[in-house]
Structure 1
Amino acid sequence: MEKAFELIGAVSEAGRAGVTLGELAGRAGIAVSTTHRYATTLLELGVLERDAAGNFHLGITLISLAGQHLHEDGLRAAARPYLAELVEISGETVHLGIPVGGQIVYVDKVESAKSVRLVSRIGSRASMHSTSMGKAVLAVLDERRRTEILAGPQERHTPYTLTGAALLAELARVREQGFAIDDEENELGVRCVGLPILSALGQPVGAFSVSAPAHRFSIDDCHRLVPRAVAIAAEIGRRIGYPARR
């Protein structure tokens, strides 16, 4: 593993020109045959790429992971004060998430001060089809990507989880109204309202949700939060460089 990272570092230092197999072996201080073996694995993983001249460059997988990290960091910084504001307004826990593959990954969280609150963890993943953040994202994805995600398994996490035609009808409703409600669909006893954060092209780059025990967070409570939450979604978008859509 250490040698693999040395090779990646050597390729990075070479810059745009790239580096040959022999040069790579020399920089890493290992035999050409060993370098070839490591490089072959890194090529298969997409961590490295090789051009027509045979020079190695950083691959799309590594660049994508780095870009995602930078994006998450910028999104968290932009959203943090608004998450805190939503906690103050609602008195409940607020989450920030990003779509990764067919799931939502929680990247930030501001806790409710109430003694009974939700157990959740930054870095954890959740299904798109059964969460308010996930449904908010799914509703505004382009049709091809939405179809790809929904072609995967739609697990029924609770008796209230929507799947199939019922889920498609729900997503059409979410798309029209601009927000999604998870009415105990992902976890019994938990209700959430979520909104997408959109790029200038209308693509979802993230989402946030207000979540609480269902007995103290009614559907009406969700709706009362929506006007300010819609404005917050637009403001977060502007802070990360996405102007408000007409």
Structure 2
Amino acid sequence: MTTTRKSSSVAKAFELIQVIADGGPDGVGLQDLAARAQVAVSTAHRYVTSLLDLGVVERDGAGVYRLGVGLVRLAGQYLEEDVLLRVAHPYLVELAGVSGETAHLGVPIGDHIVYVDKVESDQSVRLVSRIGSEVPLHCTSMGKALLSLMPPDERAARLAGDLARPTPKTLFGDSLAAELERVREQGYALDDEENELGVRCIGLPIVNASGEPVAAFSVSAPASRFTADACHDLAPTALRIAHEIGAALGYAGATRRNAG
């Protein structure tokens, strides 16, 4: 019974959102909203109060409701991620082909990176990973690449609390801060067995049209085969790819940096 009531509530909330969306720029008043959704005015008021708090809808001084920026932001995030996957995948194929190793694409969720795409290495011995799995920000190449471009307050929030130390090589404190500054300057990060012993990676950030770091990609392999020198040798190609993905997402600065 509880699940049914919750489902009905969600369905009714979306019905109200649709009515408001249909109102377009003119918006919808509370009485009209209740009539179109076929609910009591008190019920409509209760729902839209919650939607207002969430930023899904907005109300002007005349009491007219319109779609809010919160809903637009969510839609934009969905569309951006969809575009990101379509744009980035061919580059993952290129990276895997050039390096002979596994290429990943990830997005930040809280203090972790979640894999959203990958292209496997053709090597007989390769890393085990799956789309949907997550790894920490602070000790992975993709995570450090993203952290290096985040505003200081956001970075601090992502690094708050006791950081996991998966290996003896995991950086933290002043060492991690210095590493992130180095990553910011050179444009790419290495995970030198910091998340998993025997695994080395190079990772780069991807920025959106506003220049915000929204994703990252990496090339990962057994450390015995993928040396630090090999990572640095791959860096120019990876930097070019990061710039091209950023440009495809609308970031003009990526093109300017690449030209320079």
TM-score with structure 2 setting the length? 0.84
Query: Would the aligned equivalents of 1:72 and 1:107 in 2 still touch at CA under 8 Å?
Result: no
Cα shift at 1:6: 0.9
Cα shift at 1:123: 3.9
Superposed CA offset, 1:31-81 (max 9, x none): 222222222222222222222222222223221111111111222222221
Cα shift at 1:85: 0.5
- Structure 1: 4+ residue segments shifted above 4 A: 199-202
TM-score with structure 1 setting the length? 0.88
Query: Would the aligned equivalents of 2:209 and 2:249 in 1 still touch at CA under 8 Å?
Result: no
Query: Would the aligned equivalents of 1:140 and 1:202 in 2 still touch at CA under 8 Å?
Result: no
Greater alpha carbon shift after TM alignment, 45-54 vs 11-20: 45-54
* Aligned residue identity for 2:196: E
Match of 1:19 in 2: 28
Q: Distance in 1 between matches of 2:54 and 2:162?
A: 25
- 2:186 paired residue among 164, 169, 177: 177
Query: Would the aligned equivalents of 1:178 and 1:195 in 2 still touch at CA under 8 Å?
Result: yes
How many pairs does the alignment contain? 246
Match of 2:72 in 1: 63
- Residue 45 (structure 2) pairs with residue 36 (structure 1): yes
- Residue 138 (structure 2) pairs with residue 133 (structure 1): no
**Alpha-carbon spacing, 1:125–1:60, altered in 2? closer, same or farther (3 Å):** farther
* Aligned residue identity for 1:130: C
Cα shift at 1:98: 2.9
Match of 2:198 in 1: 189
* Aligned residue identity for 1:71: E
Cα shift at 1:153: 4.5
Query: Would the aligned equivalents of 2:211 and 2:251 in 1 still touch at CA under 8 Å?
Result: no
Query: Secondary structure in 2 aligned to 1:140?
Result: coil
Greater alpha carbon shift after TM alignment, 56-65 vs 122-131: 122-131
Q: Distance in 1 between matches of 2:209 and 2:15?
A: 39
Query: Would the aligned equivalents of 2:208 and 2:249 in 1 still touch at CA under 8 Å?
Result: no
Match of 2:152 in 1: 143
Matches within 5 A, 1:1-246: 1-198=10-207, 202-243=211-252, 244=255, 245=257, 246=260
**Alpha-carbon spacing, 1:78–1:84, altered in 2? closer, same or farther (3 Å):** same
**Alpha-carbon spacing, 1:242–1:7, altered in 2? closer, same or farther (3 Å):** same
Q: Distance in 2 between matches of 1:157 and 1:59?
A: 42
